[in-house]
Structure 1
Amino acid sequence: MADYDSPWKTVLERYFPDFLAFFFPDAHAGIDWTHGYSLLDKELQKVVRDAKLGRRWADSLIRVTGREGDEDWLLVHVEVQGQNQADFAQRMFVYNYRLYDRYAKPVVSLAVLGEPSQSDHGEFGYARWGCRMGLRFPLVSLSAYRTRRAELESSANPFAVVTLAHLSARETAGSEADRYRAKLGLIRSLYRRGLARQDVLELFRFIDWVLTLPEGLEKQLWSEVQQFDEEKHMHYLSSIERMAQQKGIEQGIEQGIEQGIEQGIEQGTERGIKQGIGQGQAKLLHVLVQQRFGLLPPEIEARIHSARPDQLEQWALQVLDARCLEDVFGATGEH
């Protein structure tokens, strides 16, 4: 099953106002955007990290200012992978009351589901002896847009492209040929939508992530995109190639972390989990650097295996532009 969490997280962060304008126009209209907004995902994780209610997907917590001048908190929960889970509304309820308990501020919960929904809202609550507690929140199903493709094709909102890519990924899951045509069509549409250069690159990144192809078809696609790019005189291809390389590195980092967590869980300790994460990242970085520069000197090997996870990730990303080992790790002896 495809991993939709990471690409959705990225486009949410970059295009949050567009996300609300596209899916939740009432919420967008209620915000004074001149005050900006703040992403508070680390705070969200602190509040809900011990909630044993299944995997969290592309959750985001954003601080905004309402048109009345009040500070509000938006909990945006995007669940775009797999089937609807029975405890989904309960999860939204738990997140909402925990955030209110921590910050004593109104918390607006919004949800986007990849699967069909029979309602335009979610609801969870309970009542006993005259006391009622509950949460009702707006809910959008991406599946509802299957009959609105003309609208998506003509919209300038980035989330029209995101929605089309998601629908195409689900609809072409059983056919590589259909997926190839859908992916190529979406990429070509980026050139004619009148988008800014960086928006084209960001949306290409999303399309490339959710519409994966086998290596042979991927090479064929790159050839067609290159020809199309040259015909349009856009010269996006070098940036697109670099983003594809970075996506591979980021996916590898995530896989290394997941493997490390599994190893740590087997040890049964928090320290074991942290060590496992570091070991997974170190193995990935070692492969990347050795593939680029050949066998590594002992001092570089030692630095990799003793580095912190954040340092390993930084080195991995620096491999993209490095011309020599010093460009990745600094001068010999530098730590």
Structure 2
Amino acid sequence: MPARAAQDDYDSPWKEAVEHAFPEFMEFYFPDASRQIDWARGHRFLDKELQQIVRDAALGRRHVDKLASVTTHTGEEDWLCVHIEVQGSMDPGFARRMFVYNYRIFDTYDRPVASLAVLADPDPEWRPDRFGYERLGCRHSLQFPVAKLVDHAADETALLGNPNPFALITAAHLFTRRTRRSPAARLDAKRRLVRLLYERDWTRQRILDFFSVLDWMMRLPKELEQRLWQDIEKIEGERKVKYVTSVERLAIERGLQKGMEQGLEIGIEKGIEKGIEKGIEKGIEQGRAQGTASVLLRLLNRRFGPLSPDITRRLSQSTPEQLEIWAERVLDARAIDEVFAEN
């Protein structure tokens, strides 16, 4: 059985994509709802509030959930809540979860709530769109719109020609599932999507944002990832643009931040296990170093290829401060020796 390219991660890239371009998300998947929203008045994400609302609900693993406040054209309400779920696999409890979140959000804000679902699973027949019950003459129900990604698989040409960034994200999702057992096919698909991304008449920042989403979603083995970067350099040479350095810096900044957050979580867990303040401080420091070292190891591999055992050992034994110094040098180093230079 062929090896998978990597452990696919759908959650984080989807969340980032929705945050980058929420109006385009609504326009692509829920055009009728999008036309009713006054986008000129802006929107605001309420994700921290959503986590507070649902944190005590034992409803199973969520794939992606977003909550935003928007204003409609009708003027009937100043604003309403839009609750978004992107569900990556079949779940018999999904419709009930939508129902529970809907009434909890309504109870919290006392505002109308529109719950919308994007179904990213591969089964074309699974389309849950309602939940409710009736007892003793009392009827309570929720019916919600759904968008099914697999519906777009039949018309790949239209998908790739659509200027909406979520057409590209949908294609990336479908290609990622299709190439789970073929890293070479995934490389071809990812190269194709990156080229399309560069052909879009978008701002530099939007290209960087959606490159990050594609790169995160369509993971490749290390050797194929290096081939992709070589192809990107050729594409940039053809189009006379320079985004590779910017993309690498973006990856480093986000990777370091993620590593620090993961390290902090590891440290807190270790500190709690020891149960004393000194243990917590030591655990945080260890976790911080582990998270930073993990990210730096990945970045060095990407920039300079396989690392020697000596370098790997230095990374595992260094302090967080030293690791951060080396991480900053990765941005501009032309050779790996420059990263670890004494001065």
Question: What TM bracket, shorter-length normalisation?
Answer: 0.7 to 0.9
Instruction: Determine whether 1:242 maps to 2:242.
Output: no
- Deviation of the 1:247 alpha carbon: 4.6
Alignment partner of 2:83 out of 75, 79, 86: 75
Say if 2:112 is the partner of 1:106: yes
Aligned-pair CA distance for 1:23: 0.1
Q: 2:145 aligns with which of 132, 138, 146?
A: 138
Show CA shifts across 1:82-111 (max 9, x none): x21111111111111111111110110011
Q: Output the CA distance in 1 between the equivalents of 2:86 and 2:280.
A: 27
The aligned residue for residue 238 of structure 2 is: 231
State whether residues 249 and 331 of structure 2, in contact with CA within 8 Å, keep that contact through their aligned partners in structure 1.
no
Q: What do you get for the CA RMSD once the two structures are aligned?
A: 3.6
Question: Judging changes above 3 Å, is the alpha-carbon distance between structure 1 residues 164 and 266 closer, same or farther for their aligned structure 2 residues?
Answer: farther
Range that drifts further, 170-179 or 26-35: 26-35
**Residue 65 to residue 189, structure 1, CA distance change in 2 (3 Å):** same
Identify the residue that residue 23 of structure 2 maps to in structure 1.
Answer: 17
Residue pair 2:95, 2:128 contacting (<8 A) in 1 also:
no
* Contact kept? 2:263, 2:288, Cα under 8 Å: yes
Is 1:285–1:316's contact at 8 Å kept on the other side of the alignment?
A: no
Compared with structure 1, are the counterparts of its residues 24 and 129 closer, same or farther at alpha carbon in structure 2 (3 Å cutoff)?
same
SS for the counterpart of 1:284 is helix
Tell me which of the two structures has the higher relative contact order, counting C-alpha pairs closer than 8 angstroms and 6 or more residues apart.
2
**Of 182, 186, 193, the match for 2:189:** 182
Paired letter, 1:165: A
What percentage of residue pairs aligned between the two structures are identical?
Answer: 43
Unpaired runs of 5+ residues, structure 1, are: 305-313, 324-335
- The alignment status of 1:3 with 2:9, answered yes or no, reads yes
**What TM-score does the superposition give when structure 2 sets the normalisation length?**
0.78
Shift of 1:121: 5.4
Cα deviations by residue, 1:265-322 (Å, 9 ceiling, x for unpaired): 9789xxx9999777533432366689999989xxx95x97xxxxxxxxx999978769
User: Separation in 2 of the partners of 1:105 and 1:138?
Assistant: 19
1:211 pairs with one of 190, 207, 218: 218
Amino acid across the alignment from 1:78? V
Q: Unaligned stretches of 5+ in structure 2?
A: 1-6, 301-310, 334-343
Amino acid at match of 1:129: L
1-structure distance, mates of 2:129, 2:293: 46
TM-score, reference length from structure 1? 0.80
What's the counterpart of residue 171 of structure 1?
Answer: 178
Conserved 8 A contact 1:125-1:135:
yes
**Contact conserved, 1:76 with 1:111, CA < 8 A, in 2?**
yes
**Are 2:281 and 1:283 aligned?**
no
Task: Indicate the larger mover: 114-123 or 155-164.
Answer: 114-123
SS in 1 for 2:144: strand
Per-residue deviation, residues 16-68 of structure 1 (Å, max 9, x unmatched) = 00000000011101111121111111111111111111122221110011112
SS in 1 for 2:59: coil
Out of 107, 125, 139, the residue aligned to residue 118 of structure 1 is: 125
Match of residue 33 from structure 1: 39
SS, match of residue 43 in structure 1: helix
Instruction: Report SS of the residue matched to 2:73.
Output: coil
- Output the CA distance in 1 between the equivalents of 2:112 and 2:202: 35
1:140 CA displacement: 1.1
